[in-house]
Structure 1
Amino acid sequence: MTTAVVPSSPLPSLEDRHMYYILTDDFPYGSKLFQAGSMCFLKEKTYLHSIACVGTSTQYLRVTMLDDNSIVTVKAEILHPLPEEEAVFLLAINTLSERLNCFLDRHSLEEAVKATVGQQVTVDLNQQLFTGTIRYIGKISKNSSSSPHSPSYFGVELQGGGEGRGHCDGTYNGSEYFKCKQNHGLFLPVNKIKFIPVLDCDSMKEEPQPDVDEIVPVKVGDTVGFYLDEVFRQGVAMDVHKEGTQWFVKVCPEEEGTTDVFREIPMDSVVKEGLLSSEFEPDMAPGSLRQIKRERSESGEDLESGKHSLDVNSVVQITLDKGNSVTGIIRWLGYLPNIKHRMAGVELDQEKGITDGEWQGMRYFHCPPKRGLFVKLQSCQPDMRFQSVSITPLDASTSGEIDGPQVLANSPLENGAAVQVLQGRMRGIQGHCNSCYMDAALFSLFSCTSVLDSMLFKPSLPPSGHVQKILRDEIVNPLRRNGFVAASSVMHLREQLTEKGQCSSFTTSEKDPEEFLNLIMHHILGIEPLLKLQSGGQKEQECYYYQIFIDKQEDLVVPNVQQLVEHSFLSSSLKLVEIPSCFIIQMPRFGKEYKMFSKIIPSLELDITDLLLDSPRECFVCGDIATQECSECFRDAVFADMGMKQYCNSCCRQVHSHYRRKTHRPTTLHVPEAFQVRSQMGSPRIPRERMELFAVLCIETSHYVSFVKYGPEKENWMFFDSMADRHGDENGYNIPIVKLCPEVAKYLQLPGAALAMEQPRDMEGVAKRLFCDAYMYMYQSKKMSLYK
């Protein structure tokens, strides 16, 4: 096997030597913000000169940032010096937070500097660990020879279960750095590698290592059989150690689970799994191997069915001793050294574990001490608290209808709980293969509101019940409890929609949120339409969302949602037949690309009082019961730019006595009988019907994102993007992000004229996307959702 190493080069002169630093804290500089983890350098000669001028170490250093080559003056106290041999490895890590974490983990960097070609390592591929061998260490860019700041990578040849999971044969950008089979090679940054220490050859010579397989027949991870209280049991060897001249095995019995309840068994009293045979079974009473096998088969532990749905971030329960169980979240899946079963690293809800994510000195995930547990994946069961209660299947011949499953659903997240559960990287719903339209819609509808939870509870007949179960158990409940939904769960739903919707492209192609909502609400689940509309006394129309259609209005430069809805309803002579529990409104556009308005102001409350059919309304002038409505007055520039124009009889005569409005033709309003009586007794106060905004879907260059209102304060906004970042290339995965965006409140408080003058590129944070890219607004009536 041909290998390569970094060619040696003459030592640079003082003029050419650089000093490298990493920022340990965020540092604002003008309009820029250099985040912790950013790296910079300055020439050693410049540094020595600055010290000579001041006499002591200066408080500020003028450095060159490696991200954009800008020259910046930075506080010395947040600059940590780096040896060049460490700096080149850190430069290969693109994500600043991961780079900083790697820097803080001194052991990993020190191992990288000492690493040699031919050394064994484990590599992190899609949250699974595989073994490999280092074949190359160094720079891989085409111009690496001319750039002193090029990052260094590890060229690794994958072995064992990782074979065929690589991306190359040792060649990168046409240059060969080492040789291996196609798709067996990878070039990786230091944070994706775990180094297996190289044994000291001298110490091996002084103290020859015994052949463990000959002297010690059982190794850590082996499944063994043993007798305990005269009952034959099975378990996993967690440790093998010697006390004096006798070997002992620390065993975790399978029925007790991998906890701090271990059994110390003498080596000569255990039998390795490979040596167990049917000869043991005839002599064993209850609790025998045969009984254990039957119980495990009945419990489904040996079956693969049902396990495929468990993934990283799945909520699981594990049975421990005496039937007790613990719950937790899967943080890692893969294979541990010398263990043939697929294992799960679980972070428990309570301190009943034995680790903080390490196994035999190797870290596989992070969690608090005594909260981590490594168990066979087949020992994990979905947390029954978040599964539908099983019901006995009914024969169609004996029952005309099937009751829907009872569901213990999680409550929507609000206020501090929403921040704690949802905020961060790898939070929200993970995007995959053009799924952003569905990711953004589901996050908007279910993360912080229960207005459409009827979709999860509604009794359903097969096959729609299967879709409902996926939506409830694989998406909504995990989102509300863990703050994360894996791409596989959404793909499972998309596959079902493809089948039910007779659309072969639902799993691959871009779609629109309204297409998805109409399919799942109407064609799949068959829930009652959200809106009932009537136009000009015609027959009622039912729909699930409302598309705004209006002509270009010269006076509407930066409109708010209230204005757009009122203009649209008036132009189409529409009325709401009843108060909706959920009002989904699609903004006006000329096609997907062209926006009718450069900005739209979110109306945090939508007043629908005057949009309701046959509902009592208030006179626009005096506040008495309105009896007449005038659509032409609505467009009159003399009046307010929003609010429907209706009058009592007296005010209507007075308003239309003006010569400019004598040609108007007001229409008569229906006044409920109870309000006619109250009107004769005095001026009754008309109740206002308002709906509150809970989410906004936005689109920019065919990519959908979501803004969600998670609390009552104006600053309580969070932003969700299912594909905000990515790990790896075509074999990698998307990283969803949920982050708070309180800056939205600043722009909501601006007058319309001031907001119109704001340049989108200058708007803080992600506010520009909310105001400039709004596609669909979602409003709720918590009062009506109690009845629907």
Structure 2
Amino acid sequence: MMAAGLAAEMDDFLMYFILMEKVPLGSRTVEPGKLCCMSEESYLQRITGDQIPAQSLNVTVLEDNALIEVDVNVVQPLSKRQAALLLAIPNPTERLGCFLERGLLEQAVQAEVGQRVLVEHEQKFYPALIHYVGNFLDNSTLLPPVYFGVELEGEGEGRGQNNGTHKGVAFFKCKKNSGLLLPFNKVIFSGVAPSESVAPPPPQASPLNPVNQGDTVAFFVEDKLKQGLVISSSHQADGYVEVLPEDSASSDLLKIPLDAILKEDIISEDGGTPSRDFKSLSNGALKEEAPVHHLEVDSLVQIQYKEGELAYGTIRWLGNLAYSEDTMVGVELEEEKGCTDGVWQGHRYFSCPPKRGIFVKLKACQPDTRFLSSRECQPKSLETEGYSKDESRRISGKVPPLQGAAAVDILEGDMKGIQGHCNSCYMDAALFSLFSCSSALDCLLFKPSPHPDGEIQRTLREEIVNPLRKHGFVSADSVMMLRHQLMQESQCPSFTTSEKDPEEFLNLIMQRILRADPLLRLQSDGQRVQECYCYQIFIEKQQEMAAPNVQQLLEQSFHHSNLKLVEVPSCFIIQMPRFGKEYKMFSKILPSLELDITDLLLDSPRECVVCGQLAAFECSDCFKDIILSSPGLKQYCTLCCQQVHRHHSRGGHKPLPLKVPSSFLKAQGVKKVPREKLELFAVLSIETSHYVSFVKYGLEKGSWMFFDSMADRCGSENGYNIPRVTLCPEVATYLASPLTDLISQNPREMKGVAKRLFCDAYMYMYRSQKMALYK
């Protein structure tokens, strides 16, 4: 029956998902990381139309064809290509980890035949060339897994398993015992040698003539003999070294296989030219040297470290080294992208942490452009510098939000996040919260702009969100450019100089600039539907609520204003009850990690608070009644409503009938009423007059990070702000504490930055994973 049902769906377009949590199936469980699918037609029937959107989906597990029912919140959608790549990883736990990291998966989706890569084989990494992308298994699964067929090169040659043939079928051709068929998580797609063909010249480097840091070497690229300086020889065990070409004005390191290296001392032994005349071996003259900027010790610089990748650091030493006629510098890098701690060929030139130091030519260094514009970033300069025409820093296309380990790797540290400048923290914190690790409002980035040129949308997408997600950093001038454009559009001259409220910025860009559909649709007492983008909580101060949570505040506010949600929002932005930057109604507000909005929905099935059956009446007069339960929204089935209101204290109450959709009654019968829940993904906080942000970046309870766009400063009046992103797992520790402990907790004694979340929260951001799938 199951197989027949699945076969009937094979002609339909299938939607693929990955399980984020374990799902019970009879006496066993289906592990997280398993892949499943269902037809698009079935999916749309479940979540659209006149019926109430379903809380569960009936999906088929790809690996064993088992049909299971899953909650919509425990699956994440995949493209067919992503699912096929993930299916090649046999271990579900490892597969889920690869999905959460996202970066490698996205690179695998774009990988092509002919691309040079590194592959992991026998606990080592070898250079390789992709010859084949596809399935090689003789199975008839619904979705064939996708593998990469590669040919090992360099030291890896002959260490493979085949010549491109598997079980008598030739999938590609390569040298004997040099072929491998691997899943994508065994392949490194970026940071490897360019795709030019590298032909090894004899004689070659060998274990008897090891290549050392600082050696001058030669190698062939496209039949041209080039020379360079060995910057790192620590990868010889993996079959390659990193070389800085002598004829390059940049510092783009090439990873050259050892068997393609010709050492200078080998040439000399064979009667070749000495090191000072080594450049005469090259076919053609060297390029003209690039102009040297005025750089000195302690200058902040950037280096084109590898193809498409910049490294930032500070010059710690400047001078000359043996085997090089150029002026060299020793740079301490911000990240562990180097190969030394300041030692070159056994001699110490400066000191820095391990793997933070690198020696390069002075002409390969550029002034750190992250700070050049920041020092001159005044509104008038934006009109004269031609920022709108500068396309060099734009990142086009779609870059997915960061999650899990990838978020930590890319975002954590100093000079990470969005750099603050000129009262920009309200915008920095809001943008980081909404876009760094969430796609809740990605519709703003891609929805066709109502403005003919769409320049503001392009700036938001290509100069802020995409660089943040790809490189983990956005310079202050990019945000200032957006502020300048908003100033012109809104005709508000203070947009580039003064601090605004986050909701003012969000309303402007969503409503007036991008004309986005309202996030919220509210109705009060049968009045006209009200549409808005942010919701401000209004309630009366209540002494009994010493430390309320967001759930309680929202229900109090909706009850106070007699409001209902017309539909489930995909993104729910809630402002806390505080007025101005100083006055707070509550000294502490406890975050609700999940926001249950079931009882806040208009004309939606609800549950009787007494017996749990389908409710037929709602009584607003019972809201504060604590006899039955804690204060909150209360609704009853017909029988319970009669019994509850027989009490003399409730004789004056006026219960109102609830409207239950007939489609729900037909579809659900007497089944349990589904709960509509939103998940918290970010919080904006303000202490005095400075906004900061907390973001949930992973599934684990402790996956919280803290962002401050002006955490530190370098220099005084002409200096620049240093943004910082730090992990704050202490937040989860406090969230798990008993309520009595949190109420009595002295804010000054709270560890880390937790106090700023619990005591200074300004705006909470929730999302609906289900609604995000189709809204």
TM-score, normalization: structure 1? 0.54
**Does residue 460 in structure 1 map to residue 441 in structure 2?**
no
Partner in structure 1 of residue 309 of structure 2 = 328
User: Compared with structure 1, are the counterparts of its residues 381 and 419 closer, same or farther at alpha carbon in structure 2 (3 Å cutoff)?
Assistant: closer
Distance 1:662 1:330 in 2: 73
- 1:681-708 deviation digits (Å, cap 9, x = unpaired): 5x22111110000111111111111111
* Residue in structure 1 matching 2:569, options 559, 574, 580: 580
Contact 2:335 2:356 in 1 (8 A): no
**Structure 2 counterpart of 1:739, one-letter code:** T
User: Comparing 560-569 with 358-367, which one deviates more in the overlay?
Assistant: 358-367
Q: Which residue of 2 aligns with 1:488?
A: 477
Match of 2:602 in 1: 613
- Is contact 1:238–1:252 with CA below 8 Å preserved after alignment? no
Q: In structure 1, what is the equivalent of residue 716 of structure 2?
A: 729
Partners of 1:544 and 1:229 lie apart in 2 by 57
Equivalent residue, structure 1, for 2:771: 784
Determine if the alignment matches structure 1 residue 684 to structure 2 residue 671.
yes
Residues 345, 365 of structure 1: 8 Å contact kept: no
Equivalence map 1:663-678=2 (5 Å): 663-677=652-666
**2:749 aligned residue:** 762
In structure 2, the CA distance between the partners of 1:730 and 1:603, relative to structure 1 (3 Å rule), is same
Alignment partner, residue 651 of structure 1: 640
Q: Check the 8 A contact 1:355/1:373 in 2, yes or no.
A: no
SS at match of 2:454: helix
Instruction: Check 1:363–1:460 CA distance in 2 against 1; reply closer, same or farther (3 A cut).
Output: farther
Question: Equivalents in 1 of 2:433, 2:695: separation in Å?
Answer: 6
Quick one: which of 684, 693, 710 aligns to 1:706?
A: 693
Change (3 A) 1:651 1:689: same
Q: Is the 8 A contact 2:250 2:304 kept in 1?
A: no
1:443 match:
432
Aligned to 1:629: 618
Change in CA separation of 1:463 and 1:526 when aligned onto 2, cut-off 3 Å: same
1:570 aligns with 2:559: yes
Corresponding residue for residue 715 of structure 1:
702
SS of structure 1 residue aligned to 2:308: strand
AA paired with 1:720? F
Q: Counterparts of 1:257 and 1:547 in 2: how far apart (Å)?
A: 52
Any idea what the Cα deviations from partners look like across 1:650-679, whole Å, max 9, x if unmatched? 111111111111111111111111233467
* C-alpha contact (below 8 Å) 2:330/2:358 kept by paired residues: no
Secondary structure at the aligned position of 2:554 is classed as helix
In structure 2, the CA distance between the partners of 1:615 and 1:466, relative to structure 1 (3 Å rule), is: same
Distance in 1 (alpha carbons) for counterparts of 2:223 and 2:666:
89
SS at match of 1:585: strand
Q: Note the alpha carbon deviations across 1:519-563, whole angstroms, 9 max, x for none.
A: 111122222111111111111111111000111123222110000
AA aligned to 2:747 is: P
Q: Which whole-Å CA distance do the structure 2 matches of 1:369 and 1:758 have between them?
A: 41
Question: Structure 1 residues 368 and 750 mapped into 2: Cα distance closer, same or farther (>3 Å)?
Answer: closer
Partner of 2:487: 498
Could you say if the C-alpha distance between residues 410 and 626 of structure 1 is closer, same or farther in structure 2, counting changes exceeding 3 Å? same
How far apart are residue 745 of structure 1 and its match?
2.2
Give, as a single letter, the amino acid of the residue that structure 1 aligns with 2:757. L
Summarize the Cα distance change of 1:256–1:482 in structure 2 as closer, same or farther, 3 Å threshold: closer
**Is 1:694 aligned to residue 658 of structure 2?**
no
Q: Do 2:314 and 2:333's aligned partners in 1 also have CA atoms closer than 8 Å?
A: no
Q: Is the 8 A contact 1:412 1:447 kept in 2?
A: yes
How far the C-alpha of 1:511 sits from its partner, in A, is 1.0
Aligned to 2:468: 479
Quick one: structure 1 residues 350 and 712, their matched pair in 2 at CA, closer, same or farther if it must change by over 3 Å? closer
Q: Tell me the residue number matched to 1:545.
A: 534
1:301-312 alignment to 2 at 5 Å?
none
**How far apart, in 1, do the equivalents of 2:638 and 2:422 lie?**
60
Written as runs of structure 1 = structure 2, the 5 A alignment for 1:101-120 is none
State the one-letter code of the partner of 1:329. L
Amino acid at match of 1:534: Q
User: Counterparts of 1:464 and 1:515 in 2: how far apart (Å)?
Assistant: 23
Distance in 2, matches of 1:251 and 1:708, equals 42
Structure 2 distance, partners of 1:782, 1:316, is 39
Q: Distance in 2 between matches of 1:419 and 1:710?
A: 8
Q: For the residues of structure 1 that align with 2:737 and 2:275, how far apart are their CA atoms? A: 76
Whole-Å Cα distance in 2 between the matches of residues 234 and 501 of structure 1? 56
Establish whether residue 595 from structure 1 lines up as the match of residue 584 from structure 2.
yes
- What is the CA–CA distance in structure 1 between the aligned matches of 2:717 and 2:726, rounded to whole Å? 26
- Looking at structure 2, the residues matched to 753 and 350 of structure 1 have their Cα atoms a distance apart, in angstroms, of 44
Q: Is the 8 A contact 1:534 1:541 kept in 2?
A: yes
Indicate the residue corresponding to 1:518 in structure 2. Answer: 507
Partners of 1:726 and 1:418 in 2: CA distance: 24
The TM-score with structure 2 as length reference comes to: 0.55
Query: 1:347 touches 1:372 (CA, 8 Å); kept in 2?
Result: no
Note if 1:749 corresponds to 2:730. no
Which residue is 1:139 aligned to? none
Query: Aligned residue pairs: how many?
Result: 489
Deviation at 1:467, TM superposition (A): 1.8
Q: Unpaired runs of 5+ in structure 1?
A: 1-227, 240-249, 272-286, 303-310, 319-325, 383-404
Q: Distance in 2 between matches of 1:721 and 1:752?
A: 28
Supply the distance in 2 between the matched residues of 1:365 and 1:329 (Cα, whole angstroms): 19
**One-letter amino acid of the structure 2 residue matched with residue 419 of structure 1:** V
User: Do structure 1's residue 771 and structure 2's residue 752 form an aligned pair?
Assistant: no
Aligned residue for 2:448, secondary structure, equals coil
Distance of 1:234 and 1:457 partners within structure 2: 45
The answer to whether the 8 Å contact 2:432/2:693 transfers is yes
Quote the RMSD (CA, aligned, Å).
4.6
1:385-432 CA-to-partner distances (Å, cap 9, x unmatched) read xxxxxxxxxxxxxxxxxxxx9953322222222222222222222211
| Structure 1: distance between partners of 2:420 and 2:490 | 21
* 1:530–1:542 CA contact under 8 A, matched in 2: yes
Mapped to 2, the partners of 1:268 and 1:413 lie a distance apart of 50
Between structure 1 and structure 2, the one with the greater Rg is 1
Deviation track 1:585-620 (CA, whole Å, cap 9, x = no partner) reads 000123331101110000000001111111111111
Partners of 2:302 and 2:447 in 1: how far apart?
A: 25
Tell me: CA distance 1:255–1:734, structure 2 relative to 1, closer, same or farther (3 Å): closer
Partner amino acid, structure 2, of 1:493:
L
After superposing on structure 2, the runs of 4+ consecutive aligned residues of structure 1 that deviate more than 4 Å are 228-231, 233-239, 254-271, 311-318, 332-341, 343-351, 353-382, 461-464
**For residue 559 of structure 2, what is the amino acid of its counterpart?**
L
CA separation of 1:327 and 1:610: change in aligned 2, threshold 3 A: same
Matched AA of 2:309: G
CA distance in 1, matches of 2:250, 2:542: 72
Q: CA 1:258–1:483 in 2, change beyond 3 Å: closer, same or farther? A: closer
Residues 559-581 of structure 1: per-residue CA shift (max 9 Å, x gap): 10000000111111111111111
Name the residue aligned to 1:212.
none
**SS in structure 1 opposite 2:721?**
strand
Q: Deviations over 1:40-69 (max 9, x none)?
A: xxxxxxxxxxxxxxxxxxxxxxxxxxxxxx
Please tell me the residue identity of whatever aligns with 1:327: G
Tell me the distance in 2 between the aligned counterparts of 1:229 and 1:586: 61
CA distance in 1, matches of 2:309, 2:353: 13
1:633 maps to amino acid? C
SS of residue paired to 1:519: helix
**SS of 1:421 mapped into structure 2:** helix
Quickly say closer, same or farther: Cα 1:315–1:557, change in 2 above 3 A. Answer: farther
Q: Distance in 1 between matches of 2:572 and 2:504?
A: 16
Counterparts of 1:397-416 in structure 2, within 5 Å, are: 407-416=396-405
Partner in structure 2 of residue 425 of structure 1: 414
